[in-house]
Structure 1
Amino acid sequence: MSVATRTTDVVQRAVDIVVAAAILVVLSPVMALVAVAVAAGLGRPVLFRQQRPGRHGRAFTLVKFRTMRDVDERRGLVTDADRLTRLGRALRSTSLDELPTMWNVLRGEMSLVGPRPLLMRYLDRFTPEQARRQLVRPGVTGLAQVSGRNALSWEDKFALDVWYVDHRSLALNGRILARTVRALLRREGVAAPGQSTMSEFTGTTKPGRKGSDSV
């Protein structure tokens, strides 16, 4: 790792702490309102917790607001499309469900910018090249999220993630954060075509394209 990259990582961690703490304080009234809405619409628990792979694949507990009902075969609540509520769709399209992940950022398990934390079972399905996305802390937002989000194929997303790992800088992070605001306002790429969220990653069947520096 170069001196410039180490400096970027140190400064990025400092920025993560300051920004995450500020968001948790300033948006605490919004989080309280969302918590009440989730409790009324979905019941308790209000928060969704799940083990996700962090830097170097180490597991941590991701925290978000719940957006789905529990699986209930008797009521036909099996698929994501069945379980995702109207409130859940609204929270996801505005990314308000992500606000509790600022605790993960504050704890050092995530960063504001980086590859999205996926599922633990995906680790064994990555190619060696794709696995390099785990060399950095996962992010609340990332290059793949501002380049199409769930409208991209898994291979394209992973290629962008790896490109970010190799080219990360404070300037790049700033551009990604600026584009995140624009993507949120436009509510782009929330779901894959024909999906309520994103289909499961079962392994790479074709080479992914290389990332782009047009950020």
Structure 2
Amino acid sequence: MYERWGKRGCDILGASLLLLAAAPLLAVAALGVFLVLGRPVLFRQWRAGRDGQRFLLLKLRSLRDGPGEDAARLGRFGRALRASAIDELPQLLNVLRGEMSLVGPRPLLPEYAALYTPAEAERLRVRPGLCGLAQAAGRNAVPWTTRLALDVRYARATPRLRRDLVIMLRCLWLLLRGIGVAAPGHATMPGLQERPVAGAGAGRAR
């Protein structure tokens, strides 16, 4: 029952309640982005959803304008946004629109699909999520090979409410403790093309 309609129903209910509860915080954060970084307040980027369908992922902007790597353009304000995951709150709208789920593999760049192994491509069988099994294992500190393997494990398994709740609570625990905000030496984590087994490069997500 959860697999057929319960998961989507929980997504709609949960995202609606979270969006209402977080609205004041989101408004303050958006104002902070406008005052510190200027326009645009929202960062939009194409990501691969279920079955590889592209959608525009929404985030609060965290990088300053200008040339250079992400780490060089990520100031104190942007780091605070990312560490708190407040910049991810607009993705609740992606959940309401059916492009994402509360729990699932994190949505990655469409061009990363060319770098997946056949097994890793199975992560696209399900809707991407705000939090997932890989994030519950350590957020951005989890290396790519392990991260994608955990994504595939989630995609292959039958959806279970209890498992999704455990994943969300685990992600919340890591968030509150500030664990896994970024991989060493990176604003978040290295691009998928940087792993030893990967082929030619692709753009890095923000």
TM-score norm. by structure 1 comes to 0.88
Q: How does 1:175-214 map to 2 (within 5 A)?
A: 175-202=166-193, 205=196
The Cα of 1:8 is off from its aligned counterpart by 2.0
Partner of 2:48: 53
Q: Secondary structure at the match of 1:50?
A: strand
The reply to whether residue 148 of structure 1 matches residue 148 of structure 2 is no
Partner of 1:211: none
Gaps of 5+ in 1: 207-215
Partner of 2:59: 64
CA distance in 1, matches of 2:38, 2:135: 29
The Cα of 1:148 is off from its aligned counterpart by 1.2
Partner of 2:30: 35
Question: 140, 152, 165: which is aligned to 1:162?
Answer: 152
The Cα of 1:49 is off from its aligned counterpart by 0.4
Count matched residues. Answer: 197
Which string of whole-angstrom CA distances, capped at 9 and with x for unpartnered residues, describes residues 34-82 of structure 1?
A: 0100000000110000110000000000001000012x23xxxx10111
Alpha carbon RMSD of aligned pairs, Å? 1.5
Partner of 1:210: none
Q: 1:86 to 1:9 in 2, by over 3 A?
A: farther
Partner of 2:203: none
Gaps of 5+ in 2: 198-206
Partner of 1:16: 11
CA distance in 2, matches of 1:138, 1:49: 16
Partner of 2:127: 137
CA distance in 2, matches of 1:17, 1:148: 26
Q: How does 1:78-89 map to 2 (within 5 A)?
A: 78-89=68-79
Amino acid across the alignment from 1:39? F
Q: Secondary structure at the match of 1:118?
A: coil
Q: Secondary structure at the match of 2:114?
A: helix
Contact 1:149–1:189, Cα closer than 8 Å, also in 2: yes
Percent identical pairs in the alignment equals 48
